[in-house]
Amino acid sequence: MKGYVHSIETFGSVDGPGIRYVVFLQGCPMRCLYCHNPDTWAIGKGREVEAMELIEEYEKNKMFYRGGGITVTGGEPLLQLDFLIELLSLAKQRGIHTCIDTSGITYSPEAKDYILKLDTLMQYVDLVMLDIKHIDPVKHRALTSRDNGGILAFARYLAERDIPVWIRHVIVKGYTDSPEDLRSLGRFIGGLRNVKALDVLPYHAMGESKYRELGMKYPLEGMKALERSEAECAKMHILEGVREARRSK
């Protein structure tokens, strides 16, 4: 089984617990305005790699990954579901902690074959880092070009199967910083019993130079990076919504 890999980071420190071997898979159907990896969008491109090659590379340096493991991100890793199943099943055979960083955009509860494969994959997943871009469906489409119904359904799917989840949410001024929307997101999160952590991240403009290199116009050109303190303030609004949801149970 071969997958299309964009790149690999051998010493990831923000992609799950501990030090991680991070595999960036190629291909993504979303077009987030603040995406800093537009070179991962194209589907069916990238370096073709066998799952065992990645496991063997991890094993060469496994002494550095104590308390860590393998994280598969993208792009959107769930676009390559068959490859992901093989890679993570091989990892679990070796006792490696596994994590997927996903937007959940590929989830479709009506696609029975897809759900069967997803059920198989979840046998080999220790943690899902779920990027919820926006809780409001209209604003989500404006931000990413896609609807969020499947993403929220995927979050519920993970909760039903008690898969540990870390929620990630990026704060972009004028797009995702409304206190009302943040509290609404919190109320949604508060209804999920499997959420173990919440990462609220400030927008950064590090992708702007990459767009220029690729000859692309950066959608948020000129927008300044957000202060960490503003992201912390946004997190408080989300947590307020979480508390509201739990009080109402």
The CATH number assigned to the domain holding 122 equals 3.20.20.70
Task: List, for residues 103-139, the tens digit of each pLDDT value.
Answer: 999 999 999 999 999 999 999 999 999 999 999 999 9
Q: How far apart are CA 9 and CA 27, in angstroms?
A: 17
User: How many domains, in total, are found in the chain?
Assistant: 1
Q: How far apart are CA 237 and CA 198, in angstroms?
A: 12
The answer to whether position 47 is within a domain reads yes
In sign, the C-alpha dihedral spanning 226, 187, 131, 213 is negative
Predicted pLDDT of residue 90: 98
The domain of 136 spans 2-172+193-201
Q: How far apart are CA 75 and CA 72, in angstroms?
A: 10
Q: How confident is the model at residue 8 (pLDDT cuts 50, 70, 90)?
A: very high
Strand partners, 168: 131, 199
CA count, 13 A, side-chain hemisphere, 44:
0
Task: List, for residues 211-246, the tens digit of each pLDDT value.
Answer: 999 999 999 998 999 999 999 999 999 999 999 999
The answer to whether position 131 is within a domain reads yes
The answer to whether position 36 is within a domain reads yes
The answer to whether position 46 is within a domain reads yes
pTM for the predicted model, two decimal places: 0.95
The answer to whether position 125 is within a domain reads yes
The answer to whether position 13 is within a domain reads yes
The answer to whether position 217 is within a domain reads no
The answer to whether position 238 is within a domain reads no
